[in-house]
Amino acid sequence: MTVERRSTPLSRSRRPTIKDVAEAAGVSRSTVSRALTGRGYAASDVRERVLRAAAELGYVPDVMARTLKQQVSRSVGILVSDLRNPFYAELAAGASSEARERGYTMVLFDTSLSAQAESEAAEALVALRVAGVIVTPNSSAVSTYLSSHGIPVVEVDRQFAAGSTDGVVVGNRVGARTATAHLVGLGHRRIALFIDETDWTTGYERYQGYLEALSAGDIKVDPELVVSSGWDVADSRRRALDMLRGPDRPTAVFAANNVLAEGVWRAIGELGLSVPGDISLVAFDDSPWMSMVSPTVSAVSQDTFNLGATSVRRLDERIERPESDSVTTVLNVRLVQRESTAPPPAL
Amino acid sequence: MTVERRSTPLSRSRRPTIKDVAEAAGVSRSTVSRALTGRGYAASDVRERVLRAAAELGYVPDVMARTLKQQVSRSVGILVSDLRNPFYAELAAGASSEARERGYTMVLFDTSLSAQAESEAAEALVALRVAGVIVTPNSSAVSTYLSSHGIPVVEVDRQFAAGSTDGVVVGNRVGARTATAHLVGLGHRRIALFIDETDWTTGYERYQGYLEALSAGDIKVDPELVVSSGWDVADSRRRALDMLRGPDRPTAVFAANNVLAEGVWRAIGELGLSVPGDISLVAFDDSPWMSMVSPTVSAVSQDTFNLGATSVRRLDERIERPESDSVTTVLNVRLVQRESTAPPPAL
DNA sequence: GATCCGTGTGGGAACGATGTCACAGCGGTG
DNA sequence: CACCGCTGTGACATCGTTCCCACACGGATC
């Protein structure tokens, strides 16, 4: 299981500091600082001498010391709920890409849906003196705490502190309404909703969109068909098995995120139901597997990568102009129609 | 697209420092430091007074200043190739979990397979004075550079600097051999290999495993059947379409990672081939979709989360004992047999 | 009563970088 | 020649924390 190899001692005595560069170039520390940062005077021959000395020594300025002196850092924090969920992974990827472009380093925390992990992470970010934080929040606690320490926050995907902090979200209500209306338009009247929660903005809005579409189709809401499922695939699968085994099962399901959709999909497969013959399925949040299975699954697609990138852009603007009015950016979504929806089976 | 909301000024004058706490508690800075860190003497009543003052002020120690003074940080860096790939996302999730447990914060870079991004990230990590770095390397450059700056490195998933740095990998050769042997055992003789590269340890080992299994089955290697595909799904799909459209197509495909498997799967679907009737498929690296599609896809499963967690553990040990011999840890893999493999079609 | 120990506290020097300030040349101008 | 502005440089304080050192106190030992 474990293979021994030879070791390297690599006992580098000490990392070179600005003082070492100064001595090597025969100038003072101040001059080195000016030559390297480009702020202030430095004769061109001196500058060159300094640059050469720095390169030879492999000098890399100490961010800790610089930040301590300047009292501003070029790091941002990002708190996501669950990196194993492709949604958050792609969000983080988008944030990372934009952060790199803007010269920020990114400190990442996977809070694993634990409130304790979340507040520990928040405190660590304060300690790190980050310039700002992106968060997919589980409560308003993090935003409030960070704001009280003067750290700009952008809430992404869902919002708890709308009004006092910036937010970047998608058109949840419109997306959910469109998806549900699509099912209504096909003739479905018993449309189940699988949703994780309805208290946060995301779940609430998607729930509202669902209700609006039903109401527009003159369909009375059946509370039995609204399933407030848990967080993971297993839970969602179990709930779906229960519901779909019943005698008067729905003719269509709208799953409010990719995890719930996966649970429902697995349950449908286990029960041997045919899609869309027996049951139609639409998901919120397109995932790669939805275009790989057969039949392919219709979904409300959100540009998750862009969601992450946009939130970093927003954060950067906020850092530049701390006093400006807070803004909530809403990214549009679109329904990708695939093969999983059809009119309900004839009675 | 953008909604204006009211703003909050939140003009906090200044972050409280240890000096503020000291004044509030009526003691010296030294005493506050001792009381809060627990290093050195502090009378219990004084300690309590200090803790209360710190809590009241919302004091959070400045990691920058602490690190500058102590010359060791509690941050580790992680460099991954592509966060959008579930493999790297899960790897990062495992690393994050273990890092949190051990009291490290994690600075993440998505290098997007760009050599330039990779070296920029490496320099940023040196500047940040991280305690160590986890990397899924693309060359030996990063490991060499970081090591030359005295920063411990753990190479994960693949290894370029075996012998001089620690590594955590999976049993690539055994896994590939097992998967291929499974196909051979079913009677296949024309078995294609889709692989991204064969120069790095990962690709090389998987290729060797494939060759070994063929050789054990007395099958001559047909170079036409070994496809060195690119990085993304689109490329792999194109190459698969080319190969599977041909007259003497293989009866089985071994795809050496999840991305390539996705491309092959999509191509098979587009060509209307039946799995495993016309063609069998095995993948290296199990992905969620492989158990959701129909038929489900057999795969060599690696515990990717654990791969990330293990690499952080290894890094922590290395940080604790910098001079010990370097170690390569090999995690075992297992073949998950599903529905995508069967004997070849009769002639 | 001098010395020593253990406990507890404060002063002050670092850590590495930045940036203000003073000042030294130098050529030009009144 | 005194003064000015400009270019270029170095000394030094500073950021917030830690930690070494000095020292003070009370009680025990010689």
Task: Pick the residue of B7, B74, B79, B312 with the most A CBs within 10 A to test the interface with A by mutation.
Answer: B7
State mean pLDDT over B316-328.
93
Confidence band of A10 (pLDDT split at 50, 70, 90): very low
Q: What pLDDT does residue A161 have?
A: 84
Q: Is B328 on the interface with A (CB under 8 A)?
A: yes
Chain B: give the shortest CA distance to residue A18, in Å: 13
Interface of A with B in 89-118 (CB under 8 A): 89-90, 92-93, 96-97, 100, 105-110, 112, 117
Residues A162 and A308 in one domain: yes
Residue B313 in domain: yes
Residue A16 in domain: yes
Mean pLDDT over each residue of chain B, to the nearest integer: 92
Task: Report whether pLDDT(B5) > 70.
Answer: no
C1’ C24 / CA B126, Å: 38
Q: What pLDDT does residue B14 have?
A: 79
Least confident interval from A110-114, A203-207, A305-309, B314-318: A110-114
Residues B115 and B144 in one domain: yes
Chain B: give the shortest CA distance to residue A97, in Å: 7
Residue B314 in domain: yes
C1’ D21 / CA A182, Å: 78
Q: What pLDDT does residue A199 have?
A: 82
Residues A206 and A245 in one domain: yes
**pLDDT tens by residue, B50-64:** 999 999 999 999 999
Task: Report whether pLDDT(B249) > 70.
Answer: yes
**What is the CATH classification number for the domain harbouring B163?**
3.40.50.2300
Task: Report whether pLDDT(A278) > 60.
Answer: yes
Residue B78 in domain: yes
Q: What pLDDT does residue B347 have?
A: 65
What gap in Å lies between CA A102 and CA B258, rounded to an integer? 31
Sorted by sequence, the CB contacts under 8 Å of residue B71 that are 6+ apart come out as: B129
CA distances from B155 to A278, B73, B165 (A): 50, 20, 7
Residues B176 and B297 in one domain: yes
Residue B337 in domain: no
Phi, psi (deg, nearest 5) at residue A95: -65, -45
Residue B209 in domain: yes
Residues A282 and A311 in one domain: no
- Looking across all nucleic acid strands, the nucleotide with the smallest C1' to CA distance from residue B22 is C10
Residues B291 and B179 in one domain: yes
Task: Report whether pLDDT(A12) > 70.
Answer: no
State mean pLDDT over A223-250.
91
Task: Report whether pLDDT(A222) > 50.
Answer: yes
Q: Which of A2, A62, A106 sits opposite B108 (nearest CB)?
A: A106
B113 CB neighbour count, 10 Å cutoff: 12
In chain B, what is the straight-line distance between the N-terminal and C-terminal CA atoms, in Å?
A: 61
Confidence band of A9 (pLDDT split at 50, 70, 90): very low
Q: Is A294 on the interface with B (CB under 8 A)?
A: yes
Q: Which of A61, A81, A102 is the last residue of a domain?
A: A61
Residue A253 in domain: yes
Residues B207 and B316 in one domain: no
* H, E, C per residue of chain A: CEEECCCCCCCCCCCCCHHHHHHHHCCCHHHHHHHHHCCCCCCHHHHHHHHHHHHHHCCCCCHHHHHHHHCCCCEEEEEECCCCCHHHHHHHHHHHHHHHHCCCEEEEEECCCCHHHHHHHHHHHHHCCCCEEEECCCCCHHHHHHHHCCCCEEEECCCCCECCEEEEEECHHHHHHHHHHHHHHCCCCCEEEEECCCCCHHHHHHHHHHHHHHHHCCCCCCHHHEEECCCCHHHHHHHHHHHHHCCCCCCEEEECCHHHHHHHHHHHHHHCCCCCCCCEEEEECCCHHHHCCCCCCEEEECCHHHHHHHHHHHHHHHHHCCCCCCEEEEECCEEECCCCCCCCCCC
Q: Which of A13, A29, A61 is the last residue of a domain?
A: A61
Residues B317 and B219 in one domain: no
Residue A217 in domain: yes
Show the domain range for B21: 1-61
Q: What pLDDT does residue A347 have?
A: 66
Residues B155 and B179 in one domain: no
CA distances from A294 to A276, A288, A290, B235, B272 (A): 10, 13, 9, 22, 12
Chain A: give the shortest CA distance to residue B233, in Å: 11
Task: Please indicate whether, in this complex, the C-beta atoms of A12 and B150 are within 8 angstroms of each other.
Answer: yes
Q: Which of A9, A28, A61 is the last residue of a domain?
A: A61
Task: Report whether pLDDT(B24) > 50.
Answer: yes
Residues B130 and B38 in one domain: no
Residues B166 and B313 in one domain: yes
pTM of the entire structure? 0.92
Q: Which residue has the higher pLDDT, A337 or A115?
A: A337
- Count structural domains, chain A: 3
Q: What pLDDT does residue A247 have?
A: 81
Task: Pick the residue of B170, B292, B310, B321 with the most A CBs within 10 A to test the interface with A by mutation.
Answer: B292
C1’ D9 / CA B98, Å: 50
Residues A38 and A99 in one domain: no
Q: Which residues of A touch B154 (CB under 8 A)?
A: none
